[in-house]
Chain A
Amino acid sequence: MKKDFDKDALSDMYKDKFLAPENEIRFVNAPDGSIIEVNPLDDYFCQERPKELKPRKGVVEKFLNWARAESLWVLGFGTGCGSIEIPPLSTPRFDMYRFGVQMRATPRQSNVFIISGYLSVKTLKRAIRSYEQMPSPKYIIALGSCTINGGMYWDSYNTINRLDHYLPVDVYIAGCMPRPEALLAGFGKLKELIKEGKAEKANEYIQNLDWYKANQKKIIKDWNMPDYNW
């Protein structure tokens, strides 16, 4: 599903307005006397555009999806007040390990990103970086009403209202705050989606990358990172 939007109006609006000094193009004297141009965003980061990664076909993909559903590795990144609901999951009372859900400390090794509660613009930037560093297939669980319509921070100057305009969301868990049981139910729902092959939001993100990037850049004016954080 492709999303329509006015490309020209949004994309160039906030280009490089707050470029940090360390990311500016500079000229360096090489040891042999020649002058080299250094563009940190091109030279130090990978600027390649991500490609859509199609799922395999038939029984193989079904089997792999079953494995993915039974082994959900959650990124330990609490964005808002809802992150207080995540630690109880590893206690004897809730014990998420029974369901194959484990916490990982680094985005490179995790598949599930729980956006736990409100996202301020500053945190959104970090959330985007972490999400893009996760290997595909990846899933997002949006926890709490703040991610749906802004919740009690709907008129705040610094928190976003709708998460699905910035990152693709697989499962919403409503409530303020949802209890850990609701979070476990959310994991169950995510497992169902993965097993049915419907949790392909990572590809949707790449299909609509321009739309998402325009939305993100509209509010993150201090961008200072490559377009896609590999």
Chain B
Amino acid sequence: MDYSLSRFLYTLLGLFIVMNWGMLMSSTMRRIIARVSGRIGIPWYQPWIDLIKLYSLRSQITHGTMFYLGPVFRLMGGVGLFLFMPMIYGSAYFMNYSFSGDLILILYFQFFGMLGMALGAGEGGQPYSAIGISRGLSQFTTIEVPMTLAVISLAIQYDTLSITEIVKAQQGSIANWTLFTNPFATIAAMLSLLGAFGHSPFNLVKAPNEIPIGPPTEYHGTFLGVLRTNGAILHVTEAALFMNLFFGGATSWLELILKTFFIYFWSVFVGVVFPRFRIEQSVRWFLKWPTLIGIISILIWM
């Protein structure tokens, strides 16, 4: 693998683009949600202003070392996911640090941020954080089941654990996309995506009106700024993961922006239609249909 300085700088540039696109995407989605309920919604530049404000607060308090490390771990999860994800297929600059076994590593990094957040929010001492964390971990564990089944199905189908190889196999025509060659795995993964993005009906972790904000209840200022930066990166990168695995990858930034937008829009589309699930309902739901479809997708390729 190439560890030169230029490669590093290009990766940073990619990270910058992804972060800004993530913020623009989140404000666009919030505007879409607002339009559905008949409002105008926030200005498109609101996430950047919020971020400037959060980083410029004058007084901040801490609850201890883990309280500092929580957002850092969360950011690690997002950035780590980005580092090992080939963003643009065929580009010499934006393949990042992907290697032959990156699919396994990325599955791990998805969980990593959540665990770091659990430690940090636990140190905050706020009971709502603890409730949010326990809900978040139990829900995320069940999200991972159909997701992993779909990934295993893909590994059997393409006989590789490298995302680049999987994208390579889907090039040529739309008919080569995993969406058409392995529809069951795609369905299982797209259903688990609903939970991963945390929109309604699976937004009980942050539960805006019920337990105040969930895990980040005690986080403010720079801590919250780091968490929000990570959120922007994570959303685009996870959408890019699904794009790479099931929708043929991207050969240019424009293609990446379009495809991640529609993948993210899928979870928003479901979110504005359905109300919130309770935690035991969402856990049962993930362990029922998406898991069943995931198992079918493996059985087909056995």
Q: Direct contact between A and B in the complex (CB less than 8 angstroms)? A: yes
Contact stretch, chosen from A3-11, A105-113, A139-147? A105-113
Are A92 and B43 interface neighbours, CB within 8 A? no
Q: Is A120 located at the chain interface by the 8 A CB criterion?
A: no
Q: Which chain B residue lies CB-closest to A107? A: B220
Are A95 and B40 interface neighbours, CB within 8 A? yes
Q: Is B238 located at the chain interface by the 8 A CB criterion?
A: no
Are B42 and A98 interface neighbours, CB within 8 A? yes
Given A98-B41, A100-B43, A109-B213, are A135 and B49 also a contact pair (CB < 8 Å)? no
* Contact indicator per residue, chain B 39-83, by CB within 8 Å of chain A (1) or not (0): 111110010011011001111110000000000000000000000
C-alpha spacing A90/B40, complex, angstroms: 11
Q: Is A210 located at the chain interface by the 8 A CB criterion?
A: no
Q: Is A159 located at the chain interface by the 8 A CB criterion?
A: no
- Centre residue among B58, B212, B217 by max chain A CB count within 10 A: B58
Q: Is B224 located at the chain interface by the 8 A CB criterion?
A: yes
Given A109-B224, A135-B220, A135-B221, are A68 and B43 also a contact pair (CB < 8 Å)? no
Are B56 and A71 interface neighbours, CB within 8 A? no
C-alpha spacing A90/B49, complex, angstroms: 20
Interface residue SS majority, chain A? loop
* 15 chain-A/chain-B pairs, Cβ below 8 angstroms: A53-B59, A64-B53, A67-B53, A70-B46, A95-B34, A97-B34, A98-B41, A98-B43, A100-B49, A102-B42, A104-B213, A106-B213, A135-B220, A135-B221, A136-B59
C-alpha spacing A70/B48, complex, angstroms: 11
C-alpha spacing A46/B64, complex, angstroms: 13
Q: Is A212 located at the chain interface by the 8 A CB criterion?
A: no
Q: Which of A55, A70, A106, A135 contacts B57 (CB 8 A)?
A: A135
Are B49 and A105 interface neighbours, CB within 8 A? no
Interface residues of B (CB under 8 A from A): 34, 37-43, 46, 49-50, 52-53, 56-61, 208-209, 212-213, 216-221, 224
Are A109 and B208 interface neighbours, CB within 8 A? no
Q: Which chain B residue lies CB-closest to A104? A: B213
Are B52 and A92 interface neighbours, CB within 8 A? no
Q: Is A137 located at the chain interface by the 8 A CB criterion?
A: yes
C-alpha spacing A202/B10, complex, angstroms: 44
- Contact partners of A90 in chain B: CB under 8 A: 39
C-alpha spacing A104/B41, complex, angstroms: 16
Interface members, chain A 176-230 (any B CB < 8 Å): 230
Are B58 and A136 interface neighbours, CB within 8 A? yes
